[in-house]
């Protein structure tokens, strides 16, 4: 997929509007978060918003507090950078992710329909205020 190719990643690493935070253990990438600066939605237009576009922890390392620590770090970074709210979209049937984000203090504020291949799917939009 071109969204995850090396050229795309190199381009994103040079983009001042994108911030990656990665977690390495024993020189192995086990998790990362991709934050997109000042990417908002109409519902959040009055706030300085950062999108958590991707949040990933390797399956073998889930349940070991890595995700919690990674999210805490990302939210602290966003707060220090002056962002007032962090938001993300998560597939409505991704129960595990929804539970995690709720545990991390995110609350629903909308929904977004998107096309995956030929299927229409629904994302729940979640936010967490950083003030």
Three-state secondary structure along 87-106?
Answer: EEEEECCCHHHHHHHHHCCC
Contacts for 14-18: CB closer than 8 Å, 24+ residues apart: none
What is the per-residue pLDDT for 1?
A: 43
Task: Please give the pLDDT value at position 131.
Answer: 82
Residue, of 91 and 4, whose pLDDT is higher: 91
What average pLDDT does this structure show over 26-43?
89
> Average pLDDT over the chain, rounded to whole?
89
> Tell me: the pLDDT tens digits for 68-122?
999 999 999 999 999 999 999 999 999 999 999 999 999 999 998 888 788 888 9
For residue 130, is pLDDT > 80? yes
pLDDT of 66 higher than 60: yes
pTM of the predicted model as reported, rounded to 2 decimal places: 0.85
Structure confidence at residue 3 (pLDDT): 53
Token representation of residue 4: 């995850």
């Amino acid at each position: 997929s071109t969204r995850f190719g090396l050229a795309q990643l190199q381009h994103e690493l040079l983009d001042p509007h994108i911030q990656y935070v990665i977690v390495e253990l024993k020189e192995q990438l086990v998790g990362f978060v991709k934050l997109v600066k000042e990417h908002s939605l109409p519902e959040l237009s009055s706030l300085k918003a950062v999108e958590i576009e991707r949040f990933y922890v390797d399956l073998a390392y889930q349940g070991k507090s890595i995700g919690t620590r990674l999210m805490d770090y990302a939210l602290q970074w966003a707060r220090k950078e002056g962002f007032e709210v962090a938001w993300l979209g998560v597939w409505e049937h991704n129960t595990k992710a929804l539970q995690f984000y709720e545990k991390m203090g995110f609350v629903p504020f909308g929904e977004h329909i998107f096309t995956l291949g030929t299927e229409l799917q629904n994302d729940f939009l979640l936010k967490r205020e950083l003030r």
